Amino acid sequence: MSDRGCETVGRGTSDERESENGQVTTRTGEILTWPAFRPTGPFFHPECEIDDDSRFGAFVEIGRGSRISNSHFGDYSYCDRFADIANARIGKFSNIAASARIGATDHPMEKASLHHFHYRSDDYWDDADRDEDWFARRRARLAHIGHDTWIGAMAMVKPGVTVGHGAVVAAGAVVTRDVPPYTIVTGVPAAPLRRRLSADTEARLMALAWWDWDHATLRERLEDFRQLSAEAFLDRYE
C-alpha cells in the first residue's frame, strides 16, 4: 500500500539512535538522557511514519513503528508501539496502548468493489488519478478521543466516534458508537461495562479540568495525584 505523504522518523529525529539503557545518542555523539519528553514537541521512537497533516503538543510520545496520519495529539498524550492512528483528534493525557487503531480507514461498502484500485488508481495506471473526493470524505470522518482516556492494546475506535473524557476502552474492543465520559467499554462491538467513578465525582472532575493546569502546577501537585483518591483530590483542589 502506498505510504505517500508520510515520513519515517526515528526517536526525536532521524539522526538519533536509542541504546538499551534508555539513552539516545546522536550522530554527533551528544548523549540525551531522561527525562526525554520535550515541552517543545513530540518524542518519536524509531521507525514511525508521520504525515505532514499531523500535529503534536508538548510532552507527546509516539511509540516505535507507529503510523500517524491527519491526527492531532494534545499535550502529554502518547501511543505505545505500532499504533495506527488516522483522522483523529486526541485530547490531553491520553494513554494509547500498543497496536491500538484509531480512525481505521474504511472501504466503499456501497460500490461494486471494496478494493482500493478505484480510489488509489494512480498506483495501478499511469493515466489514472486518485479519487480525491473519496479521500476528502474519509479525512472528514474524525475520531475524537477525550482528555485522560485509556485505549487498550489492540483496541479499535472507528471513524466518526467520540470517546469521552476519562473513558476506558478495554484491550481488543471495537468501538462503533460514542463512549460517554468516565465509562469503561469492552467487547466486539464495545458495550458499557461500568462507570469508573460516581456520577458526582465525574461531574466534579470535568469541572475541575485538571488537564488544563500548567506543567509547574502538575509538578507541584504530583504527590497528591499519586496518593489521594479522586474524591480527596477534588476536596483539596476545587
Quickly list DSSP for 12-52.
SSTTEEE-TTS-EEETT--EE-S---BTTB-EEPTTEEEET
CB 181 within 8 A of CB 164: yes
In order, the DSSP letters of 105-121 are ----TTSS--SGGGTSG
CA-based nearest residue to 55, from 64, 65, 68: 68
In the chain, how long is the greatest CA-to-CA distance? 66
Active site members: 107
- Give CA angle at 79 (178, 179), nearest 5°: 10
